[in-house]
Amino acid sequence: EAQVTQNPRYLITVTGKKLTVTCSQNMNHEYMSWYRQDPGLGLRQIYYSMNVEATDKGDVPEGYKVSRKEKRNFPLILESPSPNQTSLYFCASSLMGLGEKLFFGSGTQLSVL
Amino acid sequence: GQQLNQSPQSMFIQEGEDVSMNCTSSSIFNTWLWYKQDPGEGPVLLIALYKAGELTSNGRLTAQFGITRKDSFLNISASIPSDVGIYFCAGQLNSGGSNYKLTFGKGTLLTVNP
């Protein structure tokens, strides 16, 4: 089954404790992206990657890092999480970056205390 | 960056009523997309529009790509309880090569009372 898998689904952590949210897709998509969803603000893009070793900033990249060492994986790294990064995070992948081919994961609800 | 204004922010309707929501942009797009997000899940594509003036249906859903390429609307007819969720518009612009920039609206939260 074609899917985007994020882990964990829920995460509670404390300020400053490094964490990684994993994302994996099994569709051989070139394009992968991370979004955060906040009430009243919709979906905002954090980082995206057009292919292996090719990453670029989205609209809200501050406080986040990503890497794309393999085509299927695109982890999101918070080196020093802060409470304003409490949010619902979505990973997505797409064939050639086309929005109509965009598949989303089920989300990671992160709480930073 | 580009701004998408999506309205209304939320709607409370009775089952059986029709629903209309829209998005406007400060600049043009090549493609307009409408997604639905069920509670606890990621967004899923409902309709994709590729040409100015295009009107496309998917069951009880109808969406249009505005003539100016700066707006789009989504209509849901005869709403049912499972229509509950957040609806997002998104505009896509191919700014050259394979660089497809996708911009999302802030979403419309739809509640349907049985």
CA B98 to chain centroid? 23
The whole-angstrom distance between A28's CA and the closest CA on chain B is 16
| Dihedral sign from CA coordinates of A37, B103, A31, A54 | negative
**A87-104: pLDDT as tens digits:** 999 999 998 777 777 899
Q: Which of A22, A43, A16 is nearest to B87 (CA)?
A: A43
Task: Give the number of A-B residue pairs with CB atoms closer than 8 Å.
Answer: 57
Q: Residue B42: what pLDDT?
A: 93
Q: Which string of DSSP letters, residue by residue, matches B65-99?
A: E-TTSSEEEEEE-S--GGG-EEEEEEEEEE-STT-
At residue B109, φ and ψ (nearest 5 deg) are -85, 120
Q: Residue B16: what pLDDT?
A: 97
What residues of chain A lie within 8 A of the CB of B99, using their CB? 50, 97
| C-alpha angle A64-B42-A91 in degrees, rounded to nearest 5 | 30
Q: Residue B90: what pLDDT?
A: 93
Q: Is the pLDDT of residue B98 over 80?
A: no
Q: Which of B90, B16, B1 is nearest to A43 (CA)?
A: B90
Q: Is the pLDDT of residue B97 over 60?
A: no
Best B37, B104, B108, B109 member to test A by mutation, with max A CBs in 10 Å, is B104
Say if CB A12 and CB A85 are below 8 A apart.
no
**B23-52: pLDDT as tens digits:** 999 989 989 999 999 988 999 999 999 999
Q: Which chain A residue lies closest to B9 (C-alpha atoms)?
A: A40
The whole-angstrom distance between B78's CA and the closest CA on chain A is 26
The verdict on a CB contact (< 8 Å) between A106 and B105 is no
Query: Residue B71 corresponds to which amino acid?
Result: D
Query: Residue B27 corresponds to which amino acid?
Result: S
Both tokens of residue B39? 């509670």
**B61-79: pLDDT as tens digits:** 999 999 999 999 999 999 9
Say if CB B81 and CB B112 are below 8 A apart.
yes
Q: Is the pLDDT of residue A47 over 80?
A: yes
Q: What is the mean pLDDT of residues A18-26?
A: 97
